[in-house]
């Protein structure tokens, strides 16, 4: 069956009322959390994981992907109207977008962001549909040694390569790797670091860690922040519609942004922040009127907004085909798949083909929904910004606790006659860890990625060594693994060179918390 037929079947599944509803919930939530500064798609998906435990797998995953896409749309609104990025991927958008809003051109800025996101989302989702089968074919030939090399690459790019401090990134990664050791070792069936606690036999639940680090950690951080900056929301004045000149200036930027964003998102080192930044520099150098940059150039909104949406679709390529998360949201979506007993990777396309294609097709549907949600309803989203923070975070805290109890609420710990939930204790302990990491500027994503990929990397390494009967040379035998290691080395060296050439500030900006 070719891609068109598979995508067609996926569309039929995606257009079922139930899946449409899940997609609608996803994009609505996604836009909302995208608009709200400090709350992002990773946190939202993490919060919803325990709640969806008993729901339909396909529907839940469609909802998660909708949140991811929606977050990319919503983030621009805050950037443009508030000069505070709603989303780390929209940092660049604020540069030109807010200037436009100050000049009374907020409407066209929002419009070019939304239409650009739509076009980029559409092209990149189709890109995902056509690229994924090829990657799957390629990935089926991966042996344990190749998988191990892939994981090493992921570890390096997620933790050390892009960020202001490789040391902090690696520290965060190793916390995750350490937590990943807990539980029964798959190769020998022996328990490690469980200290006789039954709840630890199966290891630390990724969901619990993610909810704790993202939701509880962020709540504590917000509560501890003494300075509450009240930014002023720019009212949207004048026409919302773009002029003919705006269209002329935007379309090239949209396409460029898309073609920058998609491959960057698909690369293990990807992420929407990098894509949007690269797109901004590209627009600056392509612009006919470069002097307008910094004073509200519409290209500076159109390009990066297209790029961050395209990269969201790109991120799904390694996630679905290799089981490799390249961003925090992707890491938590991976946990979402695992929650339903699905393991993303080449086998997912073989064993759960209808689910995968329904998911990809509903991204196309979600994209249309987002365009409708974002253009006419923009006023509604802006109102979200007036919700007092304490209300918001009280809700998040309640939801995080209820969700964890609902998914894993066995009252398995006891002090005398009092029974308490072990999972809840873990949630609070990791929540404090999340706060400390944020407080001292350590990234969060490497911890989650370490917990998810650490055990997999260990299994693959030991399988490779076991098959070779202990000969470590097997790790470097295949051309695939050699290429992956080479890319990993480049990913380490390139930022060092960039730093030496004085681009460190840029990397620092990219390192801002991705949630």
- Whether 112 and 301 have beta carbons less than 8 Å apart is answered as yes
Piece of the chain touching other proteins by CB under 8 A; list 10-18, 87-95, 116-124, 388-396: 388-396
The least CB distance from residue 388 to other proteins, in Å, is 11
Query: What is the SS3 assignment for 499?
Result: helix
Shortest distance, position 51 Cβ to other proteins, whole Å: 5
Q: Least distance (Å) from other proteins to the CB of residue 62? A: 15
**Cα gap 101→126, rounded to integer Å:** 32
Q: How long a stretch of residues is the chain?
A: 515
**Apex 65 CA angle, 384 and 443, nearest 5:** 75
Does residue 489 bind other proteins (CB under 8 A)? no
- Out of 54, 232, 386, 417, the residue judged to bind other proteins by CB under 8 A: 54
Q: Measured from the CB atom, is 29 or 274 closer to other proteins?
A: 29
Query: 278 or 369: whose CB is closer to other proteins?
Result: 369
Q: Does the protein bind other proteins through residue 143 (CB under 8 A)?
A: yes
190 binds other proteins (CB under 8 A): yes
Distance of CA 158 to the CA centre of its chain: 12
The residues, ordered by sequence, that sit 6+ positions from 218 with a Cβ below 8 Å of its Cβ are 38, 39, 43, 393, 396, 434, 438, 515
Candidates 7, 47, 135, 371: give the one binding other proteins (CB under 8 A). 47
Backbone angle region of 51, left / alpha / beta, with phi > 0 → left and psi within -120 to 50 → alpha: alpha
**CB of residue 473 vs other proteins: minimum separation in angstroms?**
16
CA distance 355 to 439: 40
- For other proteins, give the closer residue by CB, 222 or 279: 222
**Least distance to other proteins from the beta carbon of 11, Å?**
26
- Using CB under 8 A as the binding rule, whether residue 477 contacts other proteins is answered as no
* Cα angle 404-406-408, degrees, rounded to a multiple of 5: 65
Q: Which of 247, 251, 368, 399 binds other proteins (CB under 8 A)?
A: 399
Which residue in 185, 368, 490, 506 binds other proteins (CB under 8 A)? 185
412 is a site residue for other proteins (CB under 8 A): yes
Rounded to a whole number of angstroms, the minimum distance from the CB of residue 466 to other proteins is 5
Q: Is 466 in the site for other proteins (CB under 8 A)?
A: yes
The Cα 194–Cα 270 span in angstroms is 35
Interface with other proteins, residue 55, by CB under 8 A? yes
Q: Give the distance between the most distant pair of CA atoms in the chain.
A: 75
The smaller minimum CB distance to other proteins, of residues 224 and 467, is found at 467
> Can you tell me which of 235, 410, 420, 492 binds other proteins, judged by CB under 8 A?
410
Least distance to other proteins, CB of residue 343, Å = 7
DSSP of 157-185:
IIIIISSS-HHHHHHHHHHHHHHHH-EE-
One residue of 1, 2, 188, 415 binding other proteins per CB under 8 A? 188
406 is a contact residue toward other proteins (CB under 8 A): yes
How near is the Cβ of 406 to other proteins at its closest, in Å? 6
Closest CB to other proteins among 32 and 170? 32
Q: Hey, which residues between 213 and 272 contact other proteins (CB under 8 A)?
A: none
Among 403, 431, 434, 454, binds other proteins (CB under 8 A): 403
- The residue within the footprint of other proteins, chosen from 1, 17, 189, 388 (CB under 8 A), is 189
Task: Work out whether 201 is an interface residue with other proteins (CB under 8 A).
Answer: yes
Q: Identify the helix (H) or strand (E) that includes residue 354.
A: helix 353-374
Phi, psi of 420 (to 5 degrees): -130, 160
The two tokens of residue 100 are: 């436009």
Which two three-digit tokens encode residue 160? 């050390």
x/- track of binding to other proteins for residues 351-370 (CB under 8 A): x-------------------
Contact 31/372 with Cβ under 8 angstroms?
A: no
Give how many residues touch other proteins by CB under 8 A: 48
Q: Which of residues 280-339 bind other proteins (CB under 8 A)?
A: none
Of the candidate spans 156-164, 172-180, 217-225, 387-395, the one that interacts with other proteins by CB under 8 A turns out to be: 387-395
How far is it, in rounded angstroms, from Cα 197 to Cα 414?
A: 12
DSSP letters, 100-153, are HHHTT-HHHHHHHHHHHHHHHHHHHHHHHHHHHHHHHHHHTT--HHHHHHHHHH
Which among 409, 61, 475, 445 is positioned nearest to 268, based on CA atoms? 445
In terms of Cα–Cα distance, which of 132, 162, 89 is closest to 349? 132
Beta bridge mates, 270: none
Tell how many helices (H) and how many strands (E) occur in the chain.
22, 4
Binding residue (CB under 8 A) for other proteins from 195, 228, 388, 391 = 391
By CB under 8 A, residue 346 contacts other proteins: yes
Binding of other proteins by 65 (CB under 8 A)? no
- CA 231/CA 95 separation, integer angstroms: 15
Are 56 and 64 within 8 A, CB to CB? no
**Contact status: 341 vs other proteins (CB under 8 A):** yes
- Give the binding range for other proteins (CB under 8 A) out of 28-36, 238-246, 427-435, 445-453: 28-36
Q: Which stretch binds other proteins (CB under 8 A): 95-103, 178-186, 236-244, 259-267?
A: 178-186
Residues of the shown chain interacting with other proteins in the complex, contacts defined by CB under 8 A:
25, 28-29, 32, 47-48, 51-52, 54-55, 140-144, 184-191, 198-199, 201-202, 340-341, 343, 346-347, 351, 387, 391-392, 395, 398-399, 402-403, 406, 410, 412, 463, 466-467, 469
């Amino acid at each position: 069956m070719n891609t068109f037929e598979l995508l067609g079947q996926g569309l039929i599944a995606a257009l079922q009322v139930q899946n449409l509803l899940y997609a609608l919930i996803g994009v609505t939530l996604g836009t909302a959390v995208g608009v709200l500064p400090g709350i992002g798609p990773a946190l939202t998906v993490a919060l919803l994981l325990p709640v969806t435990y008993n729901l339909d797998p396909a529907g839940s995953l469609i909802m998660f992907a909708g949140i991811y896409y929606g977050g990319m749309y919503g983030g621009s609104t805050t950037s443009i109207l508030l000069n505070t990025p709603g989303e780390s991927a929209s940092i660049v958008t604020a540069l030109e977008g807010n200037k436009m809003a100050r000049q009374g051109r907020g409407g066209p800025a929002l419009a070019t962001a939304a239409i650009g996101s739509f076009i980029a989302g559409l092209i990149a989702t189709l890109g995902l549909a056509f690229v994924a089968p090829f990657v799957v074919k390629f990935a089926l030939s991966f042996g344990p040694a190749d998988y191990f090399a892939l994981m090493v690459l992921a570890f390096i790019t997620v933790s050390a390569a892009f960020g202001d401090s490789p040391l902090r990134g690696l520290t965060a990664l190793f916390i995750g790797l350490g937590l990943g050791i807990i539980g029964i070792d798959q190769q020998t069936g022996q328990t490690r670091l469980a200290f006789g606690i039954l709840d630890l036999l199966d290891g630390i639940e990724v969901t619990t860690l993610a909810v704790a680090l993202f939701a509880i950690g962020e709540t504590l951080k917000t509560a501890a922040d003494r300075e509450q900056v009240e930014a002023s929301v720019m009212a949207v004045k004048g026409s919302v519609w773009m002029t003919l000149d705006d269209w002329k200036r935007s379309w090239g930027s949209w396409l460029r942004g898309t073609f920058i964003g998609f491959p960057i998102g698909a690369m293990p080192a990807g992420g929407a922040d990098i894509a949007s930044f690269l797109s901004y520099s590209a627009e600056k150098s392509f612009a006919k009127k470069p002097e307008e940059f910094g004073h509200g150039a519409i290209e500076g909104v159109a390009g990066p907004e297209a790029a961050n949406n395209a990269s969201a679709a790109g991120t799904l390529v390694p996630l679905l085909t290799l089981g490799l998360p390249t961003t925090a949201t992707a890491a938590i979506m991976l946990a979402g798949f695992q929650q339903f007993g699905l393991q993303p990777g080449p086998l997912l396309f073989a064993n759960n083909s209808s689910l995968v294609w329904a998911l990809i097709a509903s991204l196309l549907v979600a994209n249309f929904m987002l365009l409708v949600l974002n253009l006419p309803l923009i006023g509604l989203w802006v109102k979200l910004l007036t919700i007092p923070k304490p209300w918001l975070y009280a809700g998040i805290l309640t939801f995080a606790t209820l969700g964890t109890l609902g998914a894993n609420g066995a009252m398995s710990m006891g002090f005398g006659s009092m029974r308490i939930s072990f999972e809840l204790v873990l949630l609070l302990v990791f929540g404090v860890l999340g706060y400390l990491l944020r407080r001292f500027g350590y990234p969060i994503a490497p911890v989650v990625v370490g917990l998810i990929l650490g055990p997999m990397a260990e299994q693959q390494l030991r399988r490779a060594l076991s098959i070779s009967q202990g000969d470590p040379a097997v790790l470097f035998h295949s051309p695939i693994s050699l290429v992956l290691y080479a890319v990993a080395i480049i990913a380490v060296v390139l930022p060092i060179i960039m730093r030496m050439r004085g681009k460190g500030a840029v990397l620092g900006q990219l390192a801002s918390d991705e949630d």
